Amino acid sequence: MANTDKTDNKDLFASYTEDSIRSLDWREHIRLRPGMYIGKLGDGSSMDDGIYILLKEVTDNCIDEHTMGFGKQVDIKVTEHHVTVRDFGRGIPLGKVVDVVSKINTGAKYDSKAFQKSVGLNGVGTKAVNALSSYFRVQSVRDGRIKAAEFERGVLVKEYKEGTTTEANGTQVTFTPDDTVFKNYRFIPEFLENQIWNYCFLNAGLTISFNGKKYLSKNGLLDLLQRKTNEDELRYPIIHLKGEDIEVAITHESQYGEEYYSFVNGQHTTQGGTHLAAFREAFVKTVRDFYKKDYDATDIRASICAAVSIRVQEPVFESQTKTKLGSLVVYEGGPSVKAFVLEFLSKHLDDYLHRNPAVAEALKKRIEQSERERKELAGIKKLANERAKKANLHNRKLRDCRLHLNDEVTGKDKAEQEARRLNSTIFITEGDSASGSITKSRNVETQAVFSLRGKPLNSFGLTKKIVYENEEFNLLQHALNIEEGLEGLRYNNIVIATDADVDGMHIRLLLLTFFLQFFPDLVKNGHVYVLETPLFRVRNKQQTLYCYTEEEKQKAIKQLGNKPEITRFKGLGEISPDEFSRFIGDDMHIDPIILSKDIHIQKLLEYYMGKNTQTRQEFIINNLRYEKDLVEETV
């Protein structure tokens, strides 16, 4: 029906004038849409939160210097809210120190003679760090001369005159992330250490000093896989192959799933891309050709753990955060990335298997074991999938969000879509009241809710058959879309949201057992979290404070005085939707599940979820005080 309100249309037309058009400078644009440049913001709970991207953008420049043959060490210091990165490369040309950190599309990466196969090409990274930092200082030393400048939120506040120095050549950047952008942020040491190690693995021989501790890798991706795997679980020794501009490391474990670490020009492409797809395809083809048997691709890749790194000129990434390599990349004007990777594996992996018959035999046995398991599951999977489809039509276990991760990007900026994907979250909770509160208070664009019915089954020691036979596990697997691996994962963040009591903690443990038993790569890749909701509400007529610990409660009581009202939240369902929206929004408290390198997953699960050994009995007895305190707080 036509709009007959001509007056409104006329007013709208008249209001759209030259004054409506506004040009943002580089700093304003970055601060207005930070997600375009650093992905999601976050508080540091996730390894891909913005504060780590800021560190990465600065460190990438140091790595590029090292790659070009200048500087064998990088010094990184991170305190609670302060970061300093110093390289010993050539140093920024002194006359351009201000420009390269404050003028968009300014840098040396456009000159392929100065930087070849570098990480950053568009001159944005350091400018984003500058704009999103409350304090930013850049200093360059070249041949006895020094130049420095200081900024606040991208605005130049002090430019030092060029002077003399005895310091070694190189560039130093110091910054403090802006706490009005990154609210309540914290640096998690394990995430920082993982970031540092990746730089070392990809640049064998480079020393990184991180808060005084030196990190060094001599064997590249071989060291990476040794750090990421447990020797007791390997089916054969790690295969390590290196060529010009390509390096791979491959092994198979005993656990379920596929686990990959992919890199382009030193950049950790957490979402993979062209090179990873090429590796997966080339590995299957090479194995089939070697054994002269048409094995199913899923059987060949089942339980694989591999790392692949390539270097190309002018890589095209799908976003500024460089987490996925685009599909149009050509290797130095010659073969495609796909052809390049296939040619390398076809020759070098095939040669390795011929020279190492024991490894070839172990790999064959692992493939054939996967084949038997797949065939045994085939009938069960078919029935389970049909049951899941039917259930999805009628049940309300999953309250999905509006973001469909597998859809093509239409009408949306790819950077904006990427930022939304990084923020996509599914809350796994138990009971109608808890799921109801979260459902009513969530962000329907990016947050979904999956409601459990009672306590999940203890899945330790069970085969994957139970994933399909158990309705809860089957529907959860389909909700996450992880049956065929992480590539189809629909939510970047999987948040376990249970009551802060003994039953809630038991449910957490059962869910973690499920993920570690059948989908350990979800945990290893930093997708699983636990939601922390406040235990207490302390309020008077003027102010309301939410407290997560007994200590915070006591401080709140002193702050408010005059005998404030104190409420102990016994369950998630007791928190009203209006209040709940505060705890699952920008200030959401989530704790990542982090596996240290020395954790043996099966031994860990056996200790906590296996038969009741004497050792575990003693552990429970020694920790009864914690459970008693929970009961006392509830009374």
Helices and strands in the chain: count of H runs, count of E runs: 23, 23
Please indicate whether residue 119 or residue 384 has the higher confidence score (pLDDT). 384
Which residues does residue 576 pair with via DSSP β-bridges, in sequence order? none
Categorise residue 26: left if φ over 0, alpha if ψ from -120 to 50, beta otherwise: alpha
* Relative orientation angle of helices 624-634 and 614-622, to the nearest 10 degrees: 40
The dihedrals phi and psi of 471, each to the nearest 5 degrees, come to -60, -45
* Of 269-273, 354-358, 522-526, minimum mean pLDDT range: 269-273
User: With pLDDT > 70 as the criterion, what percentage of the chain qualifies?
Assistant: 84
C-alpha of 244 from chain center: 29
Instruction: Decide if 371 contacts 295 (C-beta within 8 A).
Output: yes
Residue 556 above 90 pLDDT?
yes
Torsion of CA 267, 272, 277, 282, to 10 degrees: 50
User: With pLDDT > 90 as the criterion, what percentage of the chain qualifies?
Assistant: 46
Average pLDDT over residues 503-532: 91
pLDDT at 118: 52
- Give the predicted TM-score (pTM) of the model: 0.80
pLDDT at 109: 47
Q: Which amino acid is at 378?
A: A
pLDDT at 189: 93
pLDDT at 191: 93
Average pLDDT over residues 138-145: 96
* Of 156-160, 357-361, 414-418, minimum mean pLDDT range: 414-418
Q: What is the DSSP letter of 313?
A: S
Distance CA(442)–CA(150), nearest Å, equals: 40
pLDDT at 434: 81
Inter-residue long-range contacts of 562-565, CB under 8 Å, 24+ positions, other chains counted = 564/538, 564/539, 564/540, 565/537, 565/538, 565/539, 565/540
Average pLDDT over residues 291-316: 90
pLDDT at 632: 46
pLDDT at 357: 96
Give all domains of the chain, ordered by start, each with its CATH number.
29-216 (3.30.565.10), 221-373 (3.30.230.10), 395-533+571-634 (3.40.50.670), 534-568 (no CATH)
Which of the four pLDDT bands, split at 50, 70 and 90, describes residue 18?
A: low
Which of the four pLDDT bands, split at 50, 70 and 90, describes residue 5?
A: very low
Helix (H, G, I), strand (E, B) or coil at 210: strand
* Of 81-85, 155-159, 323-327, 551-555, minimum mean pLDDT range: 323-327
Residue 76 above 60 pLDDT?
yes
Residue 215 above 70 pLDDT?
yes
Please indicate whether residue 405 or residue 177 has the higher confidence score (pLDDT). 177
Distance CA(452)–CA(504), nearest Å, equals: 12
The beta-strand segments (E) located in 187-325 are 207-210, 213-216, 239-243, 246-252, 259-264, 267-268, 304-310
Average pLDDT over residues 56-60: 91
Residue 258 above 80 pLDDT?
yes
pLDDT at 538: 93
Q: What are the pLDDT digits (tens) for 390-443?
A: 766 455 688 888 875 444 444 456 666 667 778 899 999 987 778 888 889 999
Mean pLDDT of the chain: 84
H or E element at residue 451: strand 447-452
pLDDT at 154: 94
Instruction: Decide if 197 contacts 220 (C-beta within 8 A).
Output: no
Instruction: Decide if 421 contacts 405 (C-beta within 8 A).
Output: yes
